[in-house]
Amino acid sequence: MSATAEPLLKLDGVQTYYGSIQALKGISIEVHEGEIVTLIGANGAGKSTTLRSINGLNHPRHGTIRFRGRDITQTAAHDVVRMGIAQSPEGRKLFPRMTVVENLEMGAFQRKDRHALPEDMERVFTLFPRLAERRNQKAGTMSGGEQQMCAIGRALMARPTLLMLDEPSMGLAPIFVQRIFDTIVEVNKQGTSILLVEQNALMALEVANRGYVLETGKVAMADDAKALAQNDDVKRTYLGEI
Amino acid sequence: MPTVAALLVALLLVWLAINLAKGPAYFTNIAFIGLTNGAVYALVALGYTLVYGILELINFAHGDVFMLGGLISATMISAVFGVTTKSSTGFLVLAIVCTLFIAMIGCGVLNAAIEFVAYRPLRGAPRLAPLITAIGMSFILENIAIGWKGPGYTALPNVLPKGDVFSAGGVTYTWEKLIVVLITAPVLAALVYLVQRTRQGKAMRATAQDRDAAAMMGINVNRTISFTFLIAGGLAGAGGLVYALYFGQLRYDSGYQLGLIAFTAAVLGGIGNLPGAVLGALCIGFIQAFNEGLRWHSPGSDWTESIVFSILILILVFRPEGLLGERTPEGG
């Protein structure tokens, strides 16, 4: 990436509130084309709120968000998807009374190229063979790990330019965590930029190009992922090393 | 407790069986009345269940939208088209079809406007707030009806043919009952098609199951909610026409009574569940008809509401999700 090119996504001084409570106190981050960027930090640091500010579910009160050079600060959530940002949200938020296949189809709801859907669905099933086995099961009756795969698959079905993943390893058995991170790298290689929110900072910093450490609604540190993984403060606080 | 419930159901079945044995033809005629009433209730009950499914809001104004649909229909039939008992069948059909569309569109737009004015600004408010505005809207609509038609009944001429479709061995089925079903069935079929097969229906189901997730899929949630109110209002409009034609008169508070029954039907079937609303409505239609019509030890019309609500209480105790409702993690 060249230093002069405008980033794919750029948040500048974003302040977001829940009612009268300020959750983000001026977040500035960037995601460049082709990157995996991770946000790490403790519970309540503002990671998920940052994603909700970007995807239009919780518009910032101050600051700007630009995506591919366009201001999307106040863009409605359903238009943000159309512009190329898809998300696997916190808590998965699948449609519980729809089957796996129906959920995946919902992921592609706004796409015009309906003919390409079967191919994309096969791609999701290749990434997550477990979903293929459960294709006709109601999403609400699946295990947490299977739901997580379905949520990621659903976001992929939108064929996004930027894929945002909120805690993709949450509630997964270790073997699946490895699988999910392999998948993230795989998807990124196929050309999708990724903004990854993770509690599992060790794994996140391993796959990411760059990372931001969030603390109480502010960016506390920003650096290359490798440098962050070697940082003593980060090690002590987020990687569980002494 | 389950044995008590089983005993009650057994008693009910025995009572129905004895009545059936004492006069099969008479019993069948009463069942036809129940079916017809149930069809009218179903049109209104579906509106409650559609709106509840998508917003988890009991739209208390819905019964009054139905009532206005009935008044619009009565006005169209008698004053605008000038249908009388002597009108030809062709003209009658034309007038009914035109009135159906006008009532459905009018009530649909009215219902969507109510959502826009009274519920949407309260989308983020505690749940009690839109519930109170719904009750307020109900009073406003009733007062509009009084202002328009006065407090008395608005009657329309008995335009539906009373002849028999068939009559055999004491069992008779009249044209007016068939016409109610002939109006109701296509409307219900269209609704099922809309919700199950179309893109708009998919958006409705997604919005009902998770509003935030629906928005993330690219669904315009506000527009989908408006559309749902439009459809619910349209069903109420159709219900208003059928009610006006079949019962012949209505006034400003007709929607309160019928709305309560229809809402009960929706809860009985499992609120938020479309086939459930139809099933619940038919159940209540039959309960009412059997209770008021059967001759052998039936409690009679004074008891209808007590019986309907007793059954509702029993259902809610033993199957809180209703007859066809699904047990969901949210407790619905």
- Interface residue ranges in chain A relative to chain B, Cβ cutoff 8 Å: 55-57, 76-79, 81-82, 86-87, 89, 93-98, 106-107, 109-110, 140, 154, 158
Residues 6+ apart with CB under 8 A from A75: A56, A83
Grade residue B321 by pLDDT with cuts at 50, 70 and 90.
confident
Q: Where are the beta strands (DSSP E) in chain A?
A: 9-18, 21-31, 36-41, 62-67, 70-71, 85-88, 162-166, 193-198, 210-215, 218-224
Is position B104 within any domain? Answer: yes
Is the pLDDT at B332 greater than 60? The verdict is no
Residue B331 in contact with partner chain A when CB distance is under 8 A: no
**Which whole number is the average pLDDT over B316-324?**
86
The answer to whether the CB atoms of A98 and B220 lie below 8 A apart is: no
Q: Which tens digits make up the pLDDT trace of B121-180?
A: 998 899 899 999 999 999 999 999 999 999 999 998 888 888 888 888 888 999 989 999
Find, in chain B, the residue whose alpha carbon is nearest to that of A108. B217
Query: What local confidence, expressed as pLDDT, does residue A1 receive?
Result: 47
Q: B308 is written with which tokens?
A: 């309907």
Is position B326 within any domain? Answer: no
Q: Which tens digits make up the pLDDT trace of A150-182?
A: 999 999 999 999 999 999 988 788 888 888 899
Q: What are the chain B neighbours of A96 within 8 Å (beta carbons)?
A: 209-210, 328-329
User: In which residue are the tokens 């505690």 written?
Assistant: B126
Is position B80 within any domain? Answer: yes
The answer to whether the CB atoms of A94 and B210 lie below 8 A apart is: yes
**Which whole number is the average pLDDT over A25-40?**
96
Is position B212 within any domain? Answer: yes
Q: A26 is written with which tokens?
A: 């001026």
Query: What local confidence, expressed as pLDDT, does residue B18 receive?
Result: 92
DSSP single-letter state for residue A138: B
Which of A89, A94, A110 is closest, CB to CB, to B218?
A110
The answer to whether the CB atoms of B217 and A76 lie below 8 A apart is: no
Is position B315 within any domain? Answer: no
Query: What local confidence, expressed as pLDDT, does residue B317 receive?
Result: 86
Which of B212, B218, B326 is closest, CB to CB, to A97?
B326
Q: Would you kindly state where each structural domain of chain A is located, as residue ranges?
A: 1-82+166-173+195-242, 85-159
Query: What local confidence, expressed as pLDDT, does residue A18 receive?
Result: 93
Structural domains counted in chain B? 1
- Average pLDDT value for chain A: 92
Is position B72 within any domain? Answer: yes
Is the pLDDT at A4 greater than 70? The verdict is no
- What is the end-to-end Cα distance of chain A in Å, rounded? 35
- Average pLDDT value for chain B: 91
Q: Which tens digits make up the pLDDT trace of A83-101?
A: 999 999 988 999 999 999 9
Query: What local confidence, expressed as pLDDT, does residue B159 receive?
Result: 86
Find, in chain B, the residue whose alpha carbon is nearest to that of A106. B217
Among A92, A95, A110, the residue to mutate for chain B (most B Cβ within 10 A)? A95
Residue B211 in contact with partner chain A when CB distance is under 8 A: no
**Which whole number is the average pLDDT over A238-242?**
68
Instruction: Give CA–CA dist A125/A194, Å, rounded.
Output: 20
Instruction: Give CA–CA dist B38/B228, Å, rounded.
Output: 23
For residues B244, B187, B275 and A135, what is the CA-based torsion angle, rounded to 10 degrees? Answer: -160
> May I ask the CATH architecture of the domain A1-82+166-173+195-242?
3-Layer(aba) Sandwich (3.40)
User: In which residue are the tokens 């090690």 written?
Assistant: A235
Q: Which tens digits make up the pLDDT trace of B182-231?
A: 999 999 999 999 998 999 999 999 999 999 999 999 999 999 999 999 99
Is position B51 within any domain? Answer: yes
The answer to whether the CB atoms of B210 and A95 lie below 8 A apart is: yes
Grade residue B311 by pLDDT with cuts at 50, 70 and 90.
confident
Find, in chain A, the residue whose alpha carbon is nearest to that of B210. A95
**Which whole number is the average pLDDT over A50-61?**
96
Q: Which tens digits make up the pLDDT trace of B65-88?
A: 999 999 999 999 998 888 888 888
Q: Which ipTM did the prediction report?
A: 0.91
A216 in Cβ contact with A45 (< 8 Å): yes
Instruction: Give CA–CA dist A200/A170, Å, rounded.
Output: 9
How far does the CA of residue A85 sit from the closest CA of chain B (Å)?
Answer: 9
Residue B202 in contact with partner chain A when CB distance is under 8 A: yes
The answer to whether the CB atoms of B216 and A94 lie below 8 A apart is: no
**Which whole number is the average pLDDT over A10-20?**
95
Q: What are the chain B neighbours of A138 within 8 Å (beta carbons)?
A: none
Which of B203, B216, B219 is closest, CB to CB, to A89?
B216
Better pLDDT: A147 or B316 = A147
DSSP single-letter state for residue B117: I
Is the pLDDT at A2 greater than 80? The verdict is no
Q: Which range of residues forms the domain containing residue B82?
A: 43-270
Which of A57, A81, A95 is closest, CB to CB, to B218?
A81
Q: Which of B202, B135, B164, B129 is nearest to B32 (CA)?
A: B164
Find, in chain B, the residue whose alpha carbon is nearest to that of A92. B213
